[in-house]
Structure 1
Amino acid sequence: MRIGELAASTGVPTKTIRYYEEIGVLPSPERAANGYRTYGQAAIERLLFVRDARTTGLSLTEISSILSLRDQGESTCNHVLGLLETHLNEIDSHIESLSKTRQQLASLTKRARRLNPSDCNDPHRCQTIAETGIMPTRHRSGAKHLHTAPSAHKHN
């Protein structure tokens, strides 16, 4: 089968298939006399595996490591388990961080509702944000998180 047929069979675009070949996730296919790539059932199975693994959040590097073990005839189960556990821990950590951020935003919203808009006399500084003592920070993931700023006085 040619690359267009492989793409149609797997739902993976031809450009992606070529990229996977380039980085070694998909082995280079046989070439017909006319130079066209020709693929067999193994390419379909491999691409479906890669597609499904990507939906779990695994990177192409991680997927490549799984495929390398499989290509060497080794069991991949323990390796996959380790990768999935790592991703699960990262997601749990992210959820915890997002939950804290959500709590802080809910508190900020509650405070903002109590502020009197007529007291806002500085058009360059939002009273809602300025009086909270909460400042955004960036974490390794690039997501914004909030923390309470150190303060010399309490805000009511």
Structure 2
Amino acid sequence: MLIGELAQTSGTTTKTLRFYEDVGLLPTPHRSANGYRYYDNPTDTFARIDFIRRGQTADLTLAQIRQVLEIRDHGTPLCRHVVDLLDERLAGLDQQLADLHNLRDTVSELRYRAEGISPDSCDPTAICQYL
């Protein structure tokens, strides 16, 4: 299967497929005599593209996704590794949620204080007393 056919069938672009190849997410395909990329195992390539998308949906980095694919390519069981990656991602999300909650509290407090300050009392030499 040529790269254009693979891109169309997998719902991606040839540019994306070349990028995935360059960063080690897809194995280097065979080249035809005229230099075209030829994927001789499209089923595995489709599975890899699907896995890359699912990894991105879970907000894994491309480096993390590549690491999982490399472990798989060496025939090593990787379920524990994936669980560890997902645990790390969950911890990161929990921290982001806590940070967002704190930020919301800060903005809410600033907004509340701004209500009590008349715009007429603003110092014209200051930028803004609400912040």
Q: Which runs of 5+ in 2 are unaligned?
A: none
> How far off is 1:123 after superposition?
4.3
Question: Residue in 2 aligned with 1:127?
Answer: 129
> How far off is 1:125 after superposition?
2.4
1:89 is aligned with what amino acid? A
Larger Rg computed on CA atoms: 1
Structure 1 vs Structure 2 CA RMSD: 1.2
1:108 is aligned with what amino acid? L
SS of 2:12's equivalent in the other structure is coil
Distance 2:109 2:24 in 1: 50
Flag the structure with higher strand content: 1
Between 1 and 2, higher relative CO (CA 8 Å, sep ≥ 6) is seen in: 2
SS of 1:82's equivalent in the other structure is helix
Distance 1:109 1:55 in 2: 35
Question: Residue in 2 aligned with 1:63?
Answer: 65
Identity over the aligned pairs, expressed in percent?
Answer: 40
Q: 1:84-112: CA deviations, max 9, x gaps? A: 11011011001101101101111110110
SS of 1:125's equivalent in the other structure is coil
> How far off is 1:121 after superposition?
2.8
Within the alignment, does 1:12 sit opposite 2:9 as a pair?
Answer: no
* TM-score, normalization by structure 1: 0.78
Distance 2:120 2:23 in 1: 61
Residue from 75, 78, 92 that aligns with 1:76: 78
SS of 2:95's equivalent in the other structure is helix
Question: Residue in 2 aligned with 1:35?
Answer: 35
> How far off is 1:17 after superposition?
0.8
> How far off is 1:80 after superposition?
0.4
Q: 1:17-37: CA deviations, max 9, x gaps? A: 111111221001112222211
Q: 1:32-89: CA deviations, max 9, x gaps? A: 2222111122111111111211111111111111011111111110000001110110
Question: Residue in 2 aligned with 1:89?
Answer: 91
Flag the structure with higher helix content: 2
* TM-score, normalization by structure 2: 0.91
